Amino acid sequence: MKHTIITGVLCALCVTVSAATYSPQTVPDPKQYGQGCYVSNPDSILTPDDVEYLNRCCLLLEDSTDVELAIAVLGSIGEYEPFDFGYELFQRWGIGKAGKNTGVLITFALASRQVYINTGSGIEGVLPDATCKKIIERDMIPYFKLGDYGGGLCNGATHIYTICTNGDAPEELLNMVSSTNRGKFAQQQTKKDDNDITPMEWGVFTVLVFLFVLPFLGIVLVQRKTQKKEDEMEQRQGCLYTMGGCALFFPFLWPSVLWFWWRSKRYRCPQCGKQHYKIINTESSKLKNGDTRKVDSWLCSKCGYQHTEINIVKKPEYSSSGYSGSSYSGSSYSGSSYSSGGSSSGSWGGGSTSGGGAGGSW
C-alpha cells in the first residue's frame, strides 16, 4: 500500500511538472477523433486501457439513455475554479442533447488535486448535486488518494451509468481490462458500506421490536398457559379470545388473529369438533394425461373418525414465444485515433448546463 501511494505521488509530481496549463478554450475536443470519443486526455494521465473503458462506457450510456458524458483529464487548470472551468467547457462543447440538456462533464485537475461534475438541467433530476457529491467522495477520491486516477474515473463513470440506466453495468464493461484492475478495491468499499447501520435503521428495528416481537412473545406466554387445560377446543377458544384482546391494543396482530381462527376451523374434527384432526398419510400418483392424483388420509385421534380426500392436480401448461436477439457492432480505439462506424470526426449534441453539479478534492 505504501509503495502504491509513493508511486502515485511521484507520478503526480512528474505529470505536474511536464503538463501544460489549460483553459476551456485550449482543451482538445475528443470528438475530433470520432463520434465515439468522449475522453480528453492530452497529458496522458490515463492509460490507453482506461481511456478505452471510459469511451466504451460513455458510448453505451448515450446509446441507452441519450445522456452524453464527457471527461476532461488535465494536468493543470491554472487559477480556474473547477466549477467555473467545467461550466465554460460544458457550454463551449455543448454537451448533451439540444433541447434536453442531458449532458454530464467530469473535469479532473491533477495539479490542484480537484475533480468536479457538471450536469445539464435535463439530468439534474437523476443526478442531483448530492448524488454527484457522493459519487466523487465514495467512488472516485479513494482511488485518487492511492494514485489510481484511471480507476477512480472509471468507477465514477460506471456509477453514473448505473444510475442513469437504473440497472447494473453490462458484462461488456465488467470484462474489460480497466474494470478488473479496480474491481478488488471497489468490492471492499461496497462491503464496508453495506455493513454500516444507520441511526434510521436502528430506529426502524426498535419500532418493529415493540410492534411485533413483544406482542408475539406475550401471545406465546398466554398460549402456553391455556395449554394446561384438558379440553383442546377450550384451549383454542381461550387463546383466540386473548389474541383478539391484544389486537385491540396492537392492531398489527389482526392478521395473526385471522390466521389463527382460519387454522382452528380447518383442523377441527367434523364429527367430535376437537382439535385432533390431522393428515396421517399422503399418496401421489401420475395419471396418463399428465395430471397428478393426490390422496390425503385424515384421522381424528380423539374419536377415531377417518376420511379420505382425493384431489386432482392439473398438469401445468406452458406457452413459449420466440424472440429475436440483437447484435452489436463494436468499435476500436488505438493510440490517439478512434474509429466508430467509419466516421473520422464527430460533434456533441448541442446541450447546455444551468450550473448543477458538485466537486471534491483529495
Express each pLDDT in 231-265 by its tens digit: 455 566 666 666 677 667 766 667 766 666 665 55
The CA distance from 311 to 281, in Å, is 14
| pLDDT confidence of residue 43 | 92
Helix (H, G, I), strand (E, B) or coil at 100: coil
Q: What mean pLDDT do residues 329-358 have?
A: 60
- The residue ranges of DSSP E strands in 32-148, in sequence order, are 39-40, 68-74, 103-109, 114-120
Answer yes or no: pTM beyond 0.85: no
Q: Which residue has the higher pLDDT, 217 or 328?
A: 217
| pLDDT confidence of residue 70 | 95
| pLDDT confidence of residue 222 | 56
At residue 91, φ and ψ (nearest 5 deg) are -70, -35
The CA distance from 38 to 8, in Å, is 25
Q: Taking 70 as the threshold, does the pLDDT of residue 302 lie above it?
A: yes
The CA distance from 220 to 226, in Å, is 10
Q: What mean pLDDT do residues 33-41 have?
A: 91
Give 64's contacts (C-beta < 8 A, 6+ positions apart): 164, 165
Q: What mean pLDDT do residues 144-155 have?
A: 91
Question: Which of 10-24, 79-93, 119-133, 158-172 bottoms out in mean pLDDT, i.e. has the lowest?
Answer: 10-24
At residue 73, φ and ψ (nearest 5 deg) are -110, 105
| pLDDT confidence of residue 214 | 65
The CA distance from 99 to 112, in Å, is 34
| pLDDT confidence of residue 248 | 72
Q: Taking 70 as the threshold, does the pLDDT of residue 158 lie above it?
A: yes
Q: What mean pLDDT do residues 4-24 have?
A: 57
Report percent pLDDT > 90 for the chain.
30
Highest mean pLDDT among 39-48, 192-201, 345-354: 39-48
The CA distance from 244 to 356, in Å, is 56
Decide: 356 and 121 in contact? Cβ < 8 Å: yes
User: Judging by beta carbons within 10 Å of its beta carbon (0-12, 13-18, 19+), is residue 271 exposed, middle or buried?
Assistant: middle
Q: Which among 255, 269, 273 has a CA at the least distance from the CA of 219?
A: 255
What is the maximal distance between C-alpha atoms in the chain?
Answer: 97
Q: What mean pLDDT do residues 81-107 have?
A: 92
Q: Which amino acid is at 343?
A: S
The CA distance from 30 to 32, in Å, is 5
Do the bridges between strand 277-286 and strand 337-339 make them parallel or antiparallel, or are there none, so unpaired?
unpaired
Give the DSSP letter of residue 343.
Answer: B
| pLDDT confidence of residue 30 | 92
Decide: 152 and 139 in contact? Cβ < 8 Å: yes
pLDDT band at residue 275 using 50, 70 and 90 as cut-offs = low
| pLDDT confidence of residue 278 | 75
C-alpha cell at 225: 398457559
Q: What angle do CA 12, 18, 23 make, to 5 degrees?
A: 95
| pLDDT confidence of residue 218 | 62
Q: Taking 90 as the threshold, does the pLDDT of residue 133 lie above it?
A: yes
Q: Which residue has the higher pLDDT, 7 or 85?
A: 85
| pLDDT confidence of residue 347 | 86
Mean per-residue pLDDT of the chain = 75
Residue showing cell 456509477: 159
- Checking 246-253 for CB contacts under 8 A at 24+ apart, the result is 246/215, 246/218, 246/219, 250/211, 250/215, 252/211, 252/212, 252/215, 253/215, 253/219
Q: Which amino acid is at 256?
A: S
pLDDT band at residue 334 using 50, 70 and 90 as cut-offs = very low
* Sign of CA pseudo-dihedral 93, 38, 144, 46: negative
Residue showing cell 398457559: 225
| pLDDT confidence of residue 343 | 45
Q: Taking 80 as the threshold, does the pLDDT of residue 96 lie above it?
A: yes
Do the bridges between strand 39-40 and strand 68-74 make them parallel or antiparallel, or are there none, so unpaired?
parallel
pLDDT band at residue 332 using 50, 70 and 90 as cut-offs = very low
| pLDDT confidence of residue 289 | 72
| pLDDT confidence of residue 39 | 95
Report percent pLDDT > 70 for the chain.
65
Q: Which among 120, 143, 186, 121 has a CA at the least distance from the CA of 45?
A: 143
Residue showing cell 475536443: 29
* Sign of CA pseudo-dihedral 142, 143, 149, 155: negative
Q: What mean pLDDT do residues 3-7 have?
A: 46
